Amino acid sequence: MAKVKALTQEWMDAYKAAIVADPDYKQIAKDWEGSVALVCNADPDKGVPEPVYLFQDYWHGDVGEFVVCDKAKAESAKFVMTGDYSRWKQVALKELDATKALLQGKLKMKGDLPYVVRNIKTVNKVIDILGKFDTQWPDDPA
């Protein structure tokens, strides 16, 4: 399969499909309620000329809308996580643990942090799945 360009709708579609196809996800995420927005700050030097807003809807193991969206939709999510492009790439490549990144201020979150901590297996599962398909990152050589 060809690499999918990160931070695009095609990438979001591939990500959603990978989550839905994962045999363990539905059980692990059975208690998760709420949408998550990932905000990737602009980094023109890395090929991200403007902020990118990604909206993901999760509900008790089901996966709803996964879209590249505008700022308003992103800010409507139950959880909004914001970070620099390089941090998001490190999380996706498992070079940086998302929980540690939040605690260290490398990623910022609006939402109920204790809820996220209680459901950390769900968070870790969707990050694991993200690493399972080939991604072409904006700053990767072509």
CA separation for the pair 53, 48 (Å, rounded): 12
**Could you tell me which of 110, 111, 126 has the C-alpha nearest to residue 26?**
126
pTM score, two decimals? 0.94
At 97, which amino acid appears?
D
Give the tens place of pLDDT for each residue, 95-108. Answer: 999 888 988 999 99
Average pLDDT value over all residues in the chain: 94
Q: Domain 4-134: what homologous superfamily? A: SCP2 sterol-binding domain (3.30.1050.10)
CB atoms within 10 A of CB 27: 9
Q: What is the pLDDT of residue 1?
A: 56
